[in-house]
Amino acid sequence: MFAEAATSALVASTARQRPIVSLALAIGAVLLAASVRWLAGDWLGASIPFLTFFPAVLVSAFVGGLWGGAVATILSAIVAGYLFLEPTSQSMLSVRSGASLVGFVIVAAIIVFVIVLLRQAIETIAAQEQNQRMLIESAPNGVIVVGADGLIVGVNARSETLFGYERAELIGKYVEVLVPGKIRAAHVAYRDQFLRAPQTRPMGAGRDLCARRRDGSEFPVEIGLNPIRWEGRRAVLATVTDITERKQHEERQAILARELEHRVGNMFAVILATIRRTLTRGRSIAEAEQLLTQRIQLLADAHAVLSESLFTQISVDRLLMSSVGSFRDQLVTSGPDIMVKAKAAEAFSFIFHELLTNAVKHGALSRPGGVVSVSKEVGTQGAGGFFRLTWREAGGPPVGSVSRKGFGSFILLEFPKQFGGDATLDYQTGGLVYDLKLPLDAITDKAPSATPAG
């Protein structure tokens, strides 16, 4: 009813913006009133000459505003005075007729004044209602208007997108259609409780809320509740915000914080182990300082490479190339590359560094003609896959067996055991051969396609 009144008020406002239309309506209404009065003259008698003119003034004021009502009042007074009032002479009205005419003009003026004020009030309310609907429709969040009986009476375009319903499918349905089934009964109780003492507040403060789409899927939301008047009746405006991305971001932050805590702990453990293994008896302070600096720098370089990949996975080839530095022209690689976990990447960095250091000091890279070949293999053995890396030196000085096992040997032979693998060092006459074999599922998240081991 209110919406119909608002619509008619807007139509009337449009007519009042065109004076010619208002004038034509006023003239037409007065002529119609005069015609009706003329045809019903015998039945109405001469005592009520203005009866049919009051509706003409009312309609003209309603549609044409102050201008239309004033024109209708003046025309009605002229027509009625000329056609339906008894004159005392050929040019003068009787006192009674004159008083009747003055009374009509006063009453008509009051009617016009009241109608104009009433229409202005209705237009103001109609404009507010229109603005309210436009704001709701253009809101970036889902907006649902729910009546006091729990029925949906209004939704905006964003709500259609969020929930997957057409607007016509939601209007007239209980709001619980958008609530997950497991809490629908409780939601009815919450809704009734809110309507008993409505106030602007968030819904479900301190709780994780979910809404239900048309396809049955659920998504996290934040809901704000505001009591309003909708088409003259009490209602609740619910603002629905999809917080799926925010929840995902919070989960990623929590995972990152836990991962960072874990990796910082691991890094300090590795640093402590490095210090203990480096500061051994029989080694000068200068030598220990140099070795410790190199190994800590290696750890820093490994973490720098890992940080570029956000501590997820990193290529073995990239770790190898970042370790050999300026000796790349004396390095030959073959076989498939794989992506390894961060912890495995740290181990590979230390292994490559130790092999390179030995090769530069005592092996193939100590001579310009020396060559290091690194072959890689991915294969299957039993129920799982494996990754094999072989470091083979050639062209260096003759190599003899090494009896003392320091931190370098520990890295090369003991680190692989942390992943369930094994390694061997073979000091052949032609050069060092280091063979490393690791299970794929221990060093990488996703095993690449493997070829059977020969």
What does the angle CA 233 – CA 239 – CA 240 come to, to the nearest 5 degrees? Answer: 135
* Tens digit of each residue's pLDDT (9 = 90 or more) over 129-139: 677 677 777 77
Provide the 10 A C-beta neighbour count for residue 13.
17
Helix extents (H) in 279-387: 285-308, 316-324, 342-361
Tokens representing 349 are: 């960095």
With a cut of 90, say whether residue 64 has pLDDT above it. no
CA 328 to chain centre: 48
Highest mean pLDDT among 86-95, 257-266, 342-351: 342-351
Higher pLDDT, 297 or 406: 297
Whether pTM > 0.75 for this model: the answer is no
Q: Is 1 helix (H, G, I), strand (E, B) or coil?
A: coil
Q: What is the pLDDT of residue 2?
A: 35
3-state SS, 305-319, equals: HHHHCCCCEEEHHHH
CA distance 289 to 184: 69
- pLDDT tens, 172-210? 999 999 999 888 888 888 888 888 888 888 876 667 889
pLDDT band at 4 (very low <50, low <70, confident <90, very high): very low
- Residue 13 pLDDT > 80: no
Element (H, E) at 229: strand 218-230
User: Of 227, 148, 217, which Cα lies nearest the Cα of 181?
Assistant: 217
Structure-block tokens of residue 346:
């740290």
Apex 402 CA angle, 387 and 419, nearest 5: 25
Residues pairing with 142 in the sheet: 240
pLDDT exceeds 90 at position 218: yes
Q: pLDDT, tens digit, for every residue of 27-63?
A: 888 888 888 878 776 565 555 667 778 888 888 888 8
Q: Which of 107, 108, 109, 86 is nearest to 97 (CA)?
A: 86
Domains and CATH numbers, the chain: 2-136 (no CATH), 140-242 (3.30.450.20), 247-452 (3.30.565.10)
- Distance CA(318)–CA(306), nearest Å, equals 11
User: At which residue do the structure tokens 């065109």 appear?
Assistant: 18
